[in-house]
Structure 1
């Protein structure tokens, strides 16, 4: 019995220049993988352990292997050191590889601290595939987000065919009823900022429909870049609840940052 020879590696060029590592570029070009995004302040990240745990879970689900937290910490520290930044917006991308998954880190200028500008949303009937994963290949959410901005809104609000709220194109949404933040339970990604806030503020996770929106007193969105009030979802408008937003801002500000370079040399998602 004869065996087939191993396929020759792909030849890949970028703008006419051969790629220095075609294997890495081929993994990136596949569009199959996942990532996490975070804000780094003085070498610390709020909810770093949650980021590491989520990276590990998604890597096991997609590629059948763990992603040790210490490996991610080391790569983050290396990229930050090479960039000369202590404050940064950082992303960790995970792609298929062999024998280990490939991990890419991108660092750029940090997002401003504090509350973001109020947002106007428009509802669209769309759900991300495998919404529990922060996966690559977000064509649908980018398409609807861009269409929302061209129509004069700031963000798209993704909903089920039955009108149940899921998430923003790149955010989580919460509706304030005067007592609790209500986080919709249609298929969505549990964002790290969302998770940190639900641990510190009265919160409920329940189905929320478009028909219910006028009953709420206020709304807000969250993602890795921060928190912002929502002033409209299509024809439903909200006043900015300054007391609520200050309470939310204070809760998030009180979350301690976790050192990227761990003191004990161990990761939190091994």
Structure 2
């Protein structure tokens, strides 16, 4: 809810009340199966290209639940910087393009580096790396995902070392593993990024899942 409020103010200058959004989510859940994916999108009621329109509404979409791909994944390396990286928004055609292009090349998905060569995120994923003892988060402009936020909070509670570090392709051979994460899952193993093979790190994956599962549940 905090991220939705921030993004709404950034895009439209105002946010819907939390209770309005929660009511829409509850209404969608009431007519859905017990296990379902749920997406809330805040949009400009007058239209996307109407200047100065400050009326906003919310669209809730349901879909089949997903746990994400099984992995381990092979990722292409693509130089790309999202517009408004801190905001989750729908203007993301490039992510679809680069994911599909990677699949056509025999890979699974893509990871982005910025103009300075720093890893930031994946097409629909946050990236996390492992050095054998600590979780290493990329230092670059990105969308901080809700799952990423949960994992970071709970890793701190578990006393697990974490750090933020600039990571380039040349740094990959020094690392002991990598994962992608999003709202589907706190970790899918990555076996290769570009031309660099990465070791599998089952302890790393287990740790991320344990951290995610430690987050207290909150009623909608």
Q: TM-score, normalised by structure 1?
A: 0.73
1:61 to 1, 4, 10: 10
Take 2:132 and 2:71, find their aligned partners in 1: how far apart are those partners? 22
Q: Secondary structure at the match of 2:26?
A: helix
2:73 to 119, 126, 150: 119
Kindly tell me the number of residue pairs found equivalent between the two proteins: 207
Q: Does the aligned pair in 2 maintain the 1:94–1:104 contact within 8 Å? A: yes
CA apart distance, 1:163: 1.4
Provide the residue aligned with 1:144 in structure 2. Answer: 98
Q: Does the aligned pair in 1 maintain the 2:73–2:109 contact within 8 Å? A: yes
RMSD: 1.6
The reply to whether residue 93 of structure 1 matches residue 41 of structure 2 is: yes
Take 1:117 and 1:249, find their aligned partners in 2: how far apart are those partners? 15
Take 1:175 and 1:244, find their aligned partners in 2: how far apart are those partners? 9
| RCO higher in structure (CA 8 A, sep ≥6) | 1
CA apart distance, 1:214: 0.7
- Segments of 5+ residues of structure 1 without an aligned counterpart are 1-51, 261-270
Q: Secondary structure at the match of 2:154?
A: coil
Structure of larger gyration radius: 1
CA apart distance, 1:100: 3.7
Q: TM-score, normalised by structure 2?
A: 0.89
The reply to whether residue 212 of structure 1 matches residue 209 of structure 2 is: no
Q: Does the aligned pair in 2 maintain the 1:122–1:234 contact within 8 Å? A: yes
Q: Answer with 242-251 or 120-129: which moved more.
A: 242-251
The 5 A counterparts of 1:1-270 are: 52-83=1-32, 85-97=33-45, 100-112=55-67, 116-201=70-155, 202-226=161-185, 227-260=187-220
Q: Does the aligned pair in 1 maintain the 2:172–2:198 contact within 8 Å? A: no
Take 2:165 and 2:7, find their aligned partners in 1: how far apart are those partners? 24
